[in-house]
Amino acid sequence: MKKLDDFFRKEYIDYISRGDIQLSFEENSWSLMKDFVKQKLGIEHRKKVIEFGSMLGFVTSLMSKECDIVGLEPVKLLLEFSRNLIKEHSIANCKFFEYEIGNASFYEEFDAGFCIHGLPHFLSFEEMQELFRDFNRVLKLNGLFFVDFTNRERMISKFIPRIWDKVELKSGETLYILQENSLNLEKSNLFSIWTYIYSNRGVSASYNIDLKLYTLTEIIKIAGDSGFRVVEILGSWSGHPYRVDSHRMIVLIRKERRM
Going from the N-terminus, what domains does the chain have, and what CATH number goes with each? Answer: 2-150+214-255 (3.40.50.150), 154-211 (2.20.25)
- CB-side exposure of 213: number of CA atoms within 13 Å? 20
pLDDT in tens, 142-198: 999 999 999 999 999 999 999 999 999 988 999 999 999 999 999 999 999 999 999
Pairing of strands 110-115, 139-150: parallel
Cα gap 166→11, rounded to integer Å = 12
Q: How confident is the model at residue 20 (pLDDT cuts 50, 70, 90)?
A: low
Is the backbone of residue 188 left (phi > 0), alpha (psi -120 to 50) or beta?
A: left
pLDDT in tens, 216-231: 999 999 999 999 999 9
Does pLDDT of 113 surpass 80?
yes
Question: What b-and-e string marks burial along 84-101, b requiring 16 or more CB atoms within 10 Å of the CB?
Answer: ebbeeeebebbbbbebeb
Does pLDDT of 29 surpass 80?
no
pLDDT in tens, 231-259: 999 999 999 999 999 999 999 999 999 98
Measured in whole angstroms, how far is the alpha carbon of residue 119 from the centre of its chain?
5
Does pLDDT of 1 surpass 80?
no
Q: Answer for the pair 189, 150: CB distance below 8 angstroms, yes or no.
A: no
Res 21: pLDDT: 57
pLDDT in tens, 180-191: 999 999 999 999
Does pLDDT of 22 surpass 70?
no
Does pLDDT of 89 surpass 70?
yes
Q: Answer for the pair 116, 59: CB distance below 8 angstroms, yes or no.
A: yes
3-state secondary structure 142-196: EEEEEEEEECHHHHHHCCCCEEEEEEECCCCCEEEEEEEEEEECCCCEEEEEEEE
Res 44: pLDDT: 74
Pairing of strands 189-198, 202-212: antiparallel
What does the pLDDT average to over 112-126? 88
Q: Answer for the pair 259, 227: CB distance below 8 angstroms, yes or no.
A: yes
Does pLDDT of 28 surpass 70?
no
Count the helix, strand and coil residues of the chain and give each as a percent rounded to the nearest 5: 35, 35, 35
pTM of the model: 0.93
